[in-house]
Amino acid sequence: MDLLDLNRSALDLNLKLMADLEEAHLDLATPCAGWTVYELLRHQVEQTLAFTAAIRRTAVEAPASDDMATAYRVATDAATEAFRLDGVLEREAEFPGYGRRPGSHLVAAHFVDNLVHAWDLCRAIGVDSTLDPDFATAAYRMARHYPSTPDVRGPGAAFAMPVDVPEDAPITDRLIGLLGRSPSWPA
């Protein structure tokens, strides 16, 4: 599966999870320190809009709706369209926190972010959080290259410091541990 298809699959997974959310889920805690499900959804919308703006070299648009599931659907469709434009994967773009990178790096970061947030959402609402092994393996291979600099990992950064996870653990556990989450996080 190519990078653009991987990214769309992570977005579709989140859309499926969001479609099943109930009002009571929105106040639940998530593995993202200090975030409720609602705040996680808001983050996913805002980040997707920011990635789209970086690729298009435009200002970040406001969410399309106050309903985060609807706003995410609109944002993911716009991102998918922007990411699939000719030359986007090769052309450099500026993204806060990532610096100037080829479009393929930004799409990869968007994929990893959305796939791991699908895990966060599953854990928060108490459903099976095992990620598709092919998706988790692809994301793990990408995330292994993330630097351990303060702007990428640590307090206030995109990711927490890695959590120790055994090398023979399932790939979902290794991926989320690499990105600073405990595989045993309880809802």
Q: Which amino acid is at 6?
A: L
Looking at the DSSP bridge assignments, the partners of residue 23 are none
Record the tokens describing residue 56, joined without a space.
Answer: 């298009």
pLDDT value of residue 187: 55
Alpha helices (H) in the chain, listed in sequence order: 3-19, 37-56, 68-83, 103-125, 133-143, 171-178
Torsion of CA 132, 135, 140, 142, to 10 degrees: -170
The DSSP output letter for 6 is: H
pLDDT for 154 = 75
Q: How far apart are CA 79 and CA 48, in angstroms?
A: 7
What is the predicted pLDDT for the residue at 97?
67
Topology, domain 3-178 = Four Helix Bundle (Hemerythrin (Met), subunit A) (1.20.120)
Q: Which two tokens stand for residue 106?
A: 């930004």
Q: Are 93 and 79 in contact (CB under 8 A)?
A: no
**Cα–Cα nearest to 129, from 70, 75, 177, 71:** 177
Please report, for the chain, the start and end positions of each structural domain, with discontinuous segments joined by +.
3-178
Mean pLDDT for each consecutive 10-residue tract of the chain (187 residues)?
Answer: 95 97 96 93 96 94 95 98 95 80 92 97 96 98 83 76 94 96 87
Q: What is the pLDDT of residue 161?
A: 85
Has this prediction a pTM greater than 0.85?
Answer: yes
Report the candidate in 5, 3, 2, 17 with the shortest Cα–Cα distance to residue 131: 17
Directed axis angle between helix 103-125 and helix 37-56, to 10°? 170
**Exposure b/e, 117-134, CB count within 10 A at least 16 = b:** bbbbbbbbbeeebebbee
Cα separation of the two ends of the chain: 32
Dist. CA 77–CA 125, nearest whole Å: 25
Which is nearest to 173 in space by CA: 64, 75, 31?
31
